[in-house]
Amino acid sequence: MNPILTWSELTKPLRWVVWLAASTLAFSIAAQDTNDLKTVIGQFESKPDAIVVKGFGNVGSIPLNPGEVEIRTRESQIIGGTEKIYGLVVEWQQDNVQHRRILVDDDELDTFINAINYLLQINYNVTRQPAFEASFTTKAGLQVIVRSDRKAGTLLAWLQFEDAPRLALTSDQMQQFSNLLQQARKKIDALRDNK
């Protein structure tokens, strides 16, 4: 004899999956907001009791496998105030869905560019050990990593958004990333000069 299942019993596994997906999304959004608050621009944009206007300007994107990384300039201001804050948004998208977004403050941009240019030139002389890993991390957790094993004779590079999987970069893509950051610097400087 087969027991008759109620609607509640039939949908219980589905409710569990929906709850798990919603919880994961909420955790991801909360983690991103927490990382935004590590930046000056993120703190500025989180001011309560104020209308915050965030302006965006596209700088460019780099196709990756999977997805792409897009870089945009950011200008934020509070209505009624005179202060404007500048920075970048670096976003990893796949199939037009945002997976990770990191804010980069204007005051850390030059250091970020210099670090990437250093990592583009790094070689085995950086250490006497047979392998190395070198990285730079922004305030909000965007990391550029270069790793090598002398036995393999190659340098590998990645971009990592906080604790997300590493995204492999070719040397050309690393150079593109550096070029886009330099373009962003020029655009931000032009925005600031034309207040």
Q: Where are the domains of the chain?
A: 37-193
pLDDT of the residue at 37: 79
Q: Which CATH class is domain 37-193?
A: alpha beta
Alpha helices in 37-170 (DSSP H): 40-45, 106-121
Query: What would the mean pLDDT of 45-67 be, rounded to a whole number?
Result: 92
pLDDT of the residue at 30: 42
State the helix-helix crossing angle for 171-193 and 106-121, rounded to 10 degrees: 150
Mean pLDDT of the chain: 84
Residue 7 has pLDDT above 80, yes or no: no
The DSSP-derived string for 122-142 is --GGG-SSSEEEEEEE-TTSE
168 or 10, which is more confident?
Answer: 168
Main-chain dihedrals φ then ψ at residue 10, nearest 5 degrees: -65, -35
Contact assessment for residue 71 and residue 90, using Cβ atoms and an 8 Å cutoff: yes
Contact assessment for residue 116 and residue 104, using Cβ atoms and an 8 Å cutoff: no
Q: State pTM to two decimals.
A: 0.78
Could you tell me the CA-to-CA distances from 54 to 36, 69, 74, 142 in Å, in that order? 14, 20, 7, 21
Q: Give me 120's structure tokens.
A: 């583009």
pLDDT of the residue at 28: 44
